[in-house]
Amino acid sequence: MQPQLIIDIIGWVGAITILLAYGAVSRGMVQGTSFGYQLANAIGSVGLLLNSTYYHAFPSTFVNIVWLGIAAVTMAKYRRRSKPAGETTTSDSISRR
């Protein structure tokens, strides 16, 4: 399979993933703050990011970097909130010193 075709498929999968996630939120099927929704946004933005970088579409590349960043920050906050009380990780222990 040619690299260009692979990049095109990755881009289309990314676009479809983001649109399905947006449609699910719009229909009330998932919460916009849910980990699954943010994960779908992150996966979709990576696909679009790879595609737009390959084709030198740098404005789209920039948007997808920001989109991925928003999803990553939201997922990190979600994971912190869902951690059981009293449970610490190595990074928590280090940051408290």
pLDDT, tens digit only, all 97 positions of the chain: 899 999 999 999 999 999 999 999 999 999 998 999 999 999 999 999 999 999 999 999 999 999 999 999 988 988 888 766 555 554 444 444 3
What's the pLDDT score for residue 53? 96
What's the pLDDT score for residue 94? 42
Separation of alpha carbons 52 and 49, rounded Å: 5
Separation of alpha carbons 34 and 44, rounded Å: 16
- Identity at 86, one-letter amino acid code: G
Q: Per the confidence metrics, is the pTM higher than 0.85?
A: no
Is 60:21 a contact under the CB 8 Å cutoff? no
Rounded to 10 degrees, the C-alpha dihedral 4/9/12/17 comes to: -140
Q: Which of 1, 9, 38 is nearest to 21 (CA)?
A: 38
- Identity at 47, one-letter amino acid code: G
